[in-house]
């Protein structure tokens, strides 16, 4: 399952396809794979494509003012917040998803729920000595959130694990509704998995990448690294969504 979900999609992302085409061109001494690779790389690297792909994931879940969020039993902040681990005493290495942490703290300070849950992420290649959720907890404590309000889940490796761990907490504490905090483009897959786990969620997306009000211009057709990142991120999310959709149907049939 890990291989299918994490490794195999790389072969179908733009950079993976480009590498395969170039290797084929070198082995067969053919020109058409080179041109095909250039076309794919150009299309994947322009904002006109990248912004629209990432926007298609974000648009179903528009931003919500924290003050307008309804109260719930707990706030769930998904992992992926920190970059590579740092040595003790150093400043935390907050990554691109740091807004998830900020949102969870703000919602807690607004008394939107009595509990703040961080997921205990730890991937094999990260060489972490402790769960990522413990780093999130430390930051929340530093911001004034009481320790008694914070829960770190058991160790998890992906979003499906996070959903199952939170579902177990719901049953243990007899909770009924959660506020789900994650990056906007990750929300469709997260919602799918949390609903499948039986978790009733209110949605609080953060860290939007696409500006839906921006008009199209010449720069939208000039390739850049940011647009390529958006394209690859969006396609990976779509692959993940389709993977879990199919896996869920197969499991249901069994």
Helices marked H in 45-110: 47-58, 98-109
Q: pTM here? A: 0.90
Backbone angles phi, psi at 180, to 5 degrees: -95, 120
- Where does 66-206 sit in CATH, by number? 3.40.50.620
The percent of residues in the chain predicted with pLDDT above 70, rounded, is: 93
Residue 233: which of 62, 64, 15, 38 has the closest Cα? Answer: 15
Q: Once rounded to an integer, what is the mean pLDDT over residues 216-233?
A: 95
pLDDT at residue 170, rounded to an integer: 96
Provide the pLDDT confidence category of residue 35 given band limits of 50, 70 and 90: very high
Q: Once rounded to an integer, what is the mean pLDDT over residues 187-192?
A: 96
Measured CA to CA, the distance from residue 197 to residue 182 in angstroms comes to: 17
The 3-class secondary structure across 24-51, one letter per residue, is HHHHHCCCHHHHHHHHHHHHHCCHHHHH
Provide the pLDDT confidence category of residue 252 given band limits of 50, 70 and 90: very low
Residue 240 near residue 191 (C-beta atoms within 8 A): no
The answer on pLDDT for 109 being more than 60 is yes
- Going from N- to C-terminal start, the domains of the chain cover 2-59+226-253, 66-206
């Amino acid at each position: 399952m890990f291989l299918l979900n994490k490794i195999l999609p790389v072969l179908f992302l733009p950079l993976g396809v480009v590498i395969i085409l170039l290797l084929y061109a070198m082995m067969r001494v053919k020109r058409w794979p080179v041109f095909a690779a250039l076309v794919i790389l150009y299309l994947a690297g322009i904002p006109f494509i990248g912004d629209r792909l990432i926007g298609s994931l974000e648009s179903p879940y528009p931003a919500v003012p924290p003050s307008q969020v309804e109260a719930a039993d707990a706030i769930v902040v998904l992992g992926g917040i920190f970059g590579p681990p740092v040595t003790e005493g150093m400043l935390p290495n907050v990554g691109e998803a740091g807004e998830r942490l900020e949102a969870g703290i703000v919602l807690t300070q607004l008394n939107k729920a009595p509990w703040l849950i961080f997921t205990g992420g730890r991937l094999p290649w990260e060489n972490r000595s402790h769960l990522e959720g413990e780093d999130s907890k430390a930051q929340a404590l530093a911001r004034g959130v009481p320790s008694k309000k914070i829960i770190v889940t058991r160790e998890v490796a992906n979003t499906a694990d996070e959903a199952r761990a939170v579902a177990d907490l719901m049953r243990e504490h007899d909770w009924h509704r959660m506020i789900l905090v994650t990056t906007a483009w990750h929300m469709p897959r997260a919602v799918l998995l949390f609903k499948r786990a039986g978790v009733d969620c209110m949605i609080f997306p953060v860290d939007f990448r696409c500006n839906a009000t921006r008009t199209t211009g010449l720069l939208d057709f000039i390739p850049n690294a940011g647009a390529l990142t958006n394209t690859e991120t969006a396609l990976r999310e779509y692959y993940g969504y389709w993977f879990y959709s199919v896996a869920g149907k197969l499991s249901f049939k069994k």
